[in-house]
Structures are given as structure tokens and as C-alpha cells.
């Protein structure tokens, strides 16, 4: 079943200083199937975050249609959960308090929401930290909590906006491995924004490559690498390098001036 359907999406912004119109998204269409992990890559400023914000219902498109589970999106809703680059946690709530928050909003009974939250905290490696506060956690642990909090809600689509961008390389590898393990266990539907080609290939079933602004879909690349995946072993597969190189070429073709920066990311 199709979880997310984007048809002919376009977005113009008006620059608040100059009054000029900027076409961020030219014309973008794609689908994400239930239980699929799809990433979006493209040159800086091509509108990746804007696509995510429109799906989340935070930003209104200029034209085009977004459907989640067959229903047209016209604002934020509990069927979509967002993991941001900054952790967006409640600093005054404990780890458990943060993890149960969405379930409480949904009216899930106390015992059940506690059990569900504890299950997901365990899954992301935060068992034993339930009573800590966010400031007592490392950046990587805060991001794990961000992921657990969204997963606990079991949204139809999990939206992730460069969740590991501000995390050191070593922790990032661990988080990528752990996210993959959780994905392979639970099969949420994930739409993931990133600048990092290797990250996109490692995590995804398909990678949407956008052109620069006004963006269009340049190609949707299928990642036919076996699962379960593990960073070390998967990135050493010849197929991994072949797909990553192909995406690098797509991004550097046709005057995509930031392709080389992306390749180095
Ligand atoms: N609120 C806004 N008002 C005006 N212009 C905006 C606004 N938000 C984004 N833009 C412009 O729209 C374009 C797309 O921005 P967006 O952040 O979606 O791109 P991106 O691909 O996610 O960028 P990056 O790769 O740098 O994170 C950019 O040119 C940006 O300056």
C-alpha cells in the first residue's frame, strides 16, 4: 500500500526582504510505500526541507497534492511524526515523560503508554535512562530519544530532517546502524532528508535525487542491497559504491555546482 503520495508539488516563496519570488520546488512527484525507507538528496537549497515541511503540514504548497494513507494533507496531524536536526525535546520532562507525550495526547491509557514508551526507549538503547532529563543526555542520546518519541506514536509516516547532521562522525555511524536495526525490526514508513550520499544509500530502499532549484526529480534510485545491513559490511559491498557513485554523478551533472560538495559530505 502507498503510505505517502506527492503529486506535482510546487512551492514559491516570497523573499521577505526583497519581495522577490523564489521558486523553491519546481515540480516534484513521488510515492513512498508502507514500510519503505526513502531518502531525498539534492543540492543545497533545492527544497528538501521544504518538501518535508509540506508533508508535515507546517508549510503550505503553492500547488500540487500530498496524501498520507490516501487522505489529503492540509495541516499537521498525528499520522506524521517529525524527528528534527535539533532534538526539540521538552527540557522540563524526563526521558520517559518525553517519550509518552504523544501517546498521552492521543488518549492512550497511562499503563499502556508507559509500556509502549519503555519498549521503544529500549529499542533505541535508552533503557535505564527513563528518569534522566534531556540535558543529562549526550547529543546522540537526545537524538535517540527524538526517534523513540516519534516511533512510540506509530505514525503512518516518520519524517526525519537531517537528524544526525550535528552529531560527531563516530556517534553518527552508530546511530545509522541503530536506526537501520530498528527499521528492519519494525518497518515504519520513513521519509529522510540528508546531504550525505553514503548515509542515504546505507539507510534507504530508494533515494530521490532532486535537481537544483527550481527542483524536479532527477532520478529515483533503487538501493537493492541486502538487509539486514551493517555500516561496515554494507559500505564495503561493490554494489554500495556503484550506487553512491551513480548518485554523485547525477548530482554533478548538468551544472549541479554543489555536487562535489555533496560527494565530499
Ligand atoms: N520561509 C522562507 N521564506 C523564503 N524563502 C525560503 C523560506 N524557506 C526556504 N526558502 C528558500 O527556499 C529554497 C529551498 O529551501 P530548503 O531549506 O527547503 O532547501 P534544502 O534543499 O533543504 O536546503 P539545504 O540543503 O541547504 O538544507 C532556498 O532557496 C531557501 O532560501
Q: Is residue 245 part of a domain?
A: yes
Q: Residue 238, Cβ neighbours under 10 Å: how many? A: 7
Residue among 12, 50, 211 to mutate when testing ligand 1 (max atoms within 8 A of CB): 50
Max mean pLDDT among 103-112, 126-135, 252-261 falls in 126-135
145-164 pLDDT tens trace: 988 898 888 899 999 999 88
Determine what percent of the chain is predicted with pLDDT higher than 70.
Answer: 95
pLDDT digits (tens, 9 = 90+) for 186-236: 899 999 999 999 999 999 999 999 999 999 999 999 999 999 999 999 999
Q: Give CA separation, 154 vs 40, 149, 157, 176, 221, in Å.
A: 22, 9, 8, 20, 27
Residue 25 lies in a domain: yes
Residue at 23 is within a domain: yes
In a domain, 18, yes or no: yes
Residue 172 lies in a domain: no
The dihedrals phi and psi of 62, each to the nearest 5 degrees, come to -80, -40
Q: What is the pLDDT of residue 153?
A: 87
What pLDDT is recorded for position 262? 43
Tell me whether strands 215-222 and 80-83 are parallel, antiparallel or unpaired.
unpaired
Query: Which residue lies with its CA nearest to atom 1 of ligand 1?
Result: 13
pLDDT per residue as tens digits for the range 24-81: 999 999 999 999 999 999 999 899 999 999 999 999 999 999 999 999 999 999 899 9
Cα(179) to centroid of ligand 1, in Å?
26
CA atoms of 171 and 173, how far apart (whole Å): 5
- How confident is the model at residue 190, as a pLDDT? 96
**Which pLDDT does position 99 carry in this prediction?**
93
**Domain-located, residue 56:** yes
Distance 20 CA to ligand 1 centre (A): 14
The structural domain count of the chain equals 1
Predicted local distance difference test score (pLDDT) of residue 157: 96
CATH number of the domain residue 37 falls in: 3.40.50.300
* Span 68-120, pLDDT tens digits: 999 999 999 989 999 887 768 899 999 999 999 988 888 889 999 999 999 99
Q: How confident is the model at residue 168 (pLDDT cuts 50, 70, 90)?
A: confident
The pLDDT, as a whole number, for residue 169 is 85
pLDDT for 16: 84
Residue 250 lies in a domain: yes
Stated as kind and residue range, the H or E segment containing 117 is helix 110-123
Neighbouring C-beta atoms of residue 154, cutoff 10 Å: 17
Confidence of residue 255 (pLDDT cuts 50, 70, 90): very low
Distance 13 CA to ligand 1 centre (A): 9
DSSP-assigned beta bridge partners for residue 22: 13
Whether the per-residue pLDDT at 256 is higher than 70: the answer is no
Q: What span, in angstroms and rounded, lies between the C-alpha atoms of 254 and 233? A: 33
16 within some domain: yes
pLDDT value for 263: 41
> Domain residues for 15?
2-74+189-264
Pocket test for ligand 1, best of 17, 24, 196, 208 (most atoms within 8 A of CB): 24
Q: What is the pLDDT of residue 167?
A: 81
Which residues surround ligand 1 with Cβ inside 6 Å?
A: 13, 15, 22, 24, 42, 44-50, 195, 213
Q: Give the confidence band of 259 by pLDDT, cuts at 50, 70, 90.
A: very low
> How far is 28 from 216, CA to CA, in rounded Å?
5
Amino acid at each position: 500500500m502507498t503510505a505517502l503520495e506527492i503529486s506535482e508539488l510546487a512551492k514559491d516563496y516570497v523573499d521577505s526582504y526583497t519581495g522577490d519570488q523564489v521558486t523553491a520546488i519546481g515540480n516534484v512527484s513521488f510515492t513512498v510505500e508502507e514500510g519503505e525507507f526513502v531518502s531525498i538528496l539534492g543540492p543545497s537549497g533545492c527544497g528538501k526541507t521544504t518538501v518535508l515541511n509540506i508533508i508535515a503540514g507546517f508549510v503550505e504548497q503553492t500547488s500540487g497534492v500530498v496524501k498520507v494513507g490516501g487522505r489529503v494533507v492540509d495541516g499537521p496531524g498525528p499520522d506524521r511524526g517529525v524527528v528534527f536536526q535539533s532534538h526539540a525535546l521538552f527540557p522540563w520532562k524526563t526521558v520517559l515523560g518525553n517519550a509518552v507525550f504523544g501517546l498521552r495526547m492521543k488518549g492512550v491509557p497511562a499503563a499502556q503508554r508507559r509500556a509502549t514508551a519503555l519498549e521503544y526507549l529500549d529499542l533505541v538503547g535508552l533503557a535505564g535512562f527513563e528518569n534522566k532529563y534531556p540535558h543529562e543526555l549526550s547529543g546522540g542520546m537526545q537524538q535517540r530519544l527524538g526517534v523513540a518519541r516519534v516511533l512510540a506514536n506509530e505514525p503512518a509516516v516518520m519524517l526525519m530532517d537531517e537528524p544526525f547532521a550535528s552529531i560527531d562522525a563516530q556517534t553518527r555511524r552508530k546511530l545509522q546502524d541503530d536506526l537501520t536495526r530498528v527499521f528492519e525490526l519494525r518497518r515504519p514508513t520513513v521519509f529522510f532528508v540528508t546531504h550525505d550520499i553514503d548515509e542515504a544509500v546505507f539507510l534507504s530502499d530508494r533515494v530521490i535525487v532532486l535537481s537544483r532549484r527550481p527542483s524536479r526529480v532527477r532520478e529515483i534510485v533503487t538501493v537493492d542491497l541486502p538487509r539486514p545491513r551493517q555500516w561496515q559490511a554494507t559500505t564495503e559491498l561493490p554494489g554500495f559504491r556503484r550506487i553512491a557513485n551513480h548518485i554523485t554523478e547525477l548530482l554533478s551533472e548538468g551544472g549541479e555546482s554543489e555536487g562535489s560538495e555533496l560527494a565530499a559530505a
